[in-house]
């Protein structure tokens, strides 16, 4: 019976303070929404496979720029063809 009384007390408290109730609902909605968004993006980027056959054979090509303190940069397609 204690849990039922706790629910009644919580409901009475939220009815007496509608501003707090609105802030609590908005905070919960934002928290759940942001959590779902981050999970969806993380799942799509990190955990799902790439949309390529044999994606374990994808290679990243890079080069170092001697004029910029050997900073590593990607290779453009024309440089790749050369």
- Chunked in runs of 10, what are the mean pLDDT values of the chain (82 residues)? 87 90 94 96 82 78 78 82 84
Q: Give me the pLDDT at residue 1, please.
A: 60
Domain limits for position 40:
2-81
Phi, psi of 51 (to 5 degrees): -80, 45
Taking a C-beta distance cutoff of 8 angstroms, is the pair 67, 73 a contact? no
C-alpha angle 47-51-63 in degrees, rounded to nearest 5: 90
Number of domains in the chain: 1
Taking a C-beta distance cutoff of 8 angstroms, is the pair 73, 62 a contact? yes
Q: What is the DSSP string of 13-57?
A: HHHH-HHHHHHHHHHHHHHHHHHHHHHHHHIIIIISPPSSTTGGG
């Amino acid at each position: 019976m204690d849990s039922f009384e706790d629910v009644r007390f919580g409901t009475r408290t939220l009815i007496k303070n509608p501003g707090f109730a609105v802030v609590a609902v908005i905070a919960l909605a934002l928290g759940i929404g942001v959590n779902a968004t981050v999970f969806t993006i993380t799942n799509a980027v990190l955990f799902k496979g790439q949309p390529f056959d044999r994606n374990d054979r994808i290679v990243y090509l890079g080069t170092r720029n001697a004029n910029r303190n050997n900073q590593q940069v990607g290779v453009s397609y024309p440089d790749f063809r050369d």
